[in-house]
Structure 1
């Protein structure tokens, strides 16, 4: 079985290397991060500081939205939305990557320190007992300061995260 990670949907569009891992990967995406893709695509605010990179990333966001709107994928996602914490069946991207959408629910547990998306990412990682991938150093710092019981990897350390051999049972001891 491959590695599982909780991740924000936009990071899949920004970091192309996440789509070509050296071993099978399942990305668990809180549904709210999918909804955020539409806002990011249509926003006049840049996603990336460089104008050309921003145009490319917004194009990738558009492709990701189209992928999720494919009728079969959309049906799988809609199944997850019926009940809190329900997961979609795996959505295959290629032979090495699949997405699972989860209808995560924000609660006030981490709401004072983290924004709603960050809270859902954290709660999803705790619920699924899997590590989280992020590119937000500030988020990692806040998680460490708040003693959040989630293993977190920077996207730049993705290959290391793939090779990390801690099992789900090891992760449970962190909680």
Structure 2
């Protein structure tokens, strides 16, 4: 059974190593983070501090968008968009990685602590009983401060998060 994580789509482009894990992984991606890819693609604002890194990440974002727009993947994605909180069929991203897109909606439940994207990430984690994988220490801090009952891993601890001693069905 694959390890499961809720993650923002852009992190799949920024952190290529998480798309080639040694064990099967399913990434659950809230749809609003897919829409964010288009914003990043069209933005003149840099995502990375180094220009060459920024160009590389933006090319990876373009590749991910193109992959998701392939007819079969697009059809799977569109199936998830018909009903709030529905999920797409698995979209293979590699031999051991699959994506499931969730039509997540922000209900402003954590409005004072989290922005809309962070809220859909947390709500998806709660609904799916799945840990969050993020590169944002500020988000981790806000989750702790708000005492939200989700498990969250810093992306730097990805290999640790894959260890079998930490089943993804447990919430902390």
TM-score, reference length from structure 2: 0.97
- Deviation of 1:111 after TM superposition, in Å, equals 1.5
Aligned counterparts of 1:29 and 1:63: Cα–Cα separation in 2: 17
Determine the structure 2 residue equivalent to 1:80: 80
Determine the structure 2 residue equivalent to 1:23: 23
- Comparing both structures, which one devotes a greater share of its residues to helix? 1
Determine the structure 2 residue equivalent to 1:4: 4
- Deviation of 1:109 after TM superposition, in Å, equals 1.0
SS of the residue 2:65 aligns to: helix
Determine the structure 2 residue equivalent to 1:40: 40
Residues 56-67 of structure 1 mapped to structure 2, 5 A cutoff: 56-67=56-67
Aligned counterparts of 2:45 and 2:168: Cα–Cα separation in 1: 39
Unaligned runs of 5+ in 2: none
- Deviation of 1:136 after TM superposition, in Å, equals 0.3
- Does 2:149 match 1:149? yes
Cα-Cα RMSD: 1.0
Aligned counterparts of 2:129 and 2:37: Cα–Cα separation in 1: 25
- Deviation of 1:167 after TM superposition, in Å, equals 3.1
SS of the residue 1:112 aligns to: coil
TM-score, reference length from structure 1: 0.95
Deviations 1:56-114 (A, max 9, x none): 00000000000000000000000000000000000011220000000011102112210
Aligned counterparts of 1:166 and 1:52: Cα–Cα separation in 2: 36
Unaligned runs of 5+ in 1: none
Aligned counterparts of 2:161 and 2:50: Cα–Cα separation in 1: 28
- Deviation of 1:165 after TM superposition, in Å, equals 2.8
SS of the residue 2:89 aligns to: coil
Aligned counterparts of 2:130 and 2:28: Cα–Cα separation in 1: 9
Counting matched residue pairs gives: 172
